[in-house]
């Protein structure tokens, strides 16, 4: 009976987390990948996999963010040589924003992840380095390089 109750409690918690976190996670995955379909699939997969370890997770939002980020990166590693379009697509209708988004999409996966996590998720570089499992110096270097590239391309 206890087991049943635990499972019910877990299901309710996951349902609540799904309702609460899904939109944020899909948006994060979209910014990291540039693909809505991939973003949706990644988040769905992460939630499907989280059942078994749910009660061992101390900080579900942080765990889910890390899981989504890593899964997007796994996908990108297998596709890193796909040529990136130089075209500026209309996404928001605001020319300035669309142009910047096009340039962000041209960044390599590592630099892009750092930019998104730092400027969108508002994480410090130390937090970004922990999340990505990379040295702080490397993350800092990635960000520096990404900003340099963006600035030059926008000029």
Which residues here bind another protein, judged by CB under 8 A?
11, 14-15, 18-19, 22-23, 26-28, 30-31, 36, 38-42, 44-45, 47-49, 71, 74-75, 77-83, 85-87, 91-92, 94, 96-97, 100-101, 104, 108-111, 115-116, 119-120, 124-125, 135, 137-138, 140-141, 143-145, 147-152, 154
- Nearest CB to another protein, comparing residues 62 and 100: 100
- Smallest gap from Cβ 99 to another protein, in A, equals 9
Nearer to another protein, 62 or 119 (CB): 119
CA 134 from centroid of its chain's CA atoms: 15
Q: Return the number of the residue (6 or 120) whose C-beta is nearest another protein.
A: 120
**Residue 24 or residue 62: which is nearer to another protein going by CB?**
24
- Return the half-sphere exposure (C-beta side, CA atoms, 13 A cut-off) of residue 88: 13
Give the shortest CB-127-to-another protein separation in angstroms: 12
d(CA 49, CA 153) in angstroms, rounded, equals 39
- In the bound state with another protein, the residue whose beta carbon lies nearer, of 1 and 90, is 90
- The H-or-E segment that residue 2 falls in is helix 2-33
Q: How far is the CB of 2 from another protein (least distance, A)?
A: 23
CB-neighbour burial class of residue 44 (10 A; exposed 0-12, middle 13-18, buried 19+): middle
Shortest reach from residue 131's CB to another protein, in Å: 16
CB neighbours (10 Å) of residue 23? 10
H helices of 34-154, in order, are: 36-50, 60-77, 95-106, 109-119, 125-132, 136-154
């Amino acid at each position: 009976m206890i087991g049943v109750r635990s499972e019910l409690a877990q299901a309710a918690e996951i349902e609540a987390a799904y309702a609460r976190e899904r939109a944020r996670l899909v948006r994060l995955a979209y910014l990291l990948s540039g693909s809505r379909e991939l973003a949706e699939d990644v988040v769905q997969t992460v939630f499907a996999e989280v059942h078994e370890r749910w009660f061992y997770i101390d900080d579900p939002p942080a765990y889910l963010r890390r899981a989504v980020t890593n899964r997007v990166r796994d996908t990108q590693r297998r596709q890193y040589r796909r040529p990136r379009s130089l075209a500026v697509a209309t996404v928001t209708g605001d020319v300035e924003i669309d142009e910047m988004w096009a340039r962000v999409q041209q960044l390599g996966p590592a630099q892009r992840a750092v930019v998104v996590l730092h400027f969108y998720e508002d994480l410090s570089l130390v937090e970004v380095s922990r999340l990505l499992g990379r040295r702080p110096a490397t993350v800092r270097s990635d960000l520096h390089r990404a900003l340099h590239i963006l600035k030059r391309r926008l000029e």
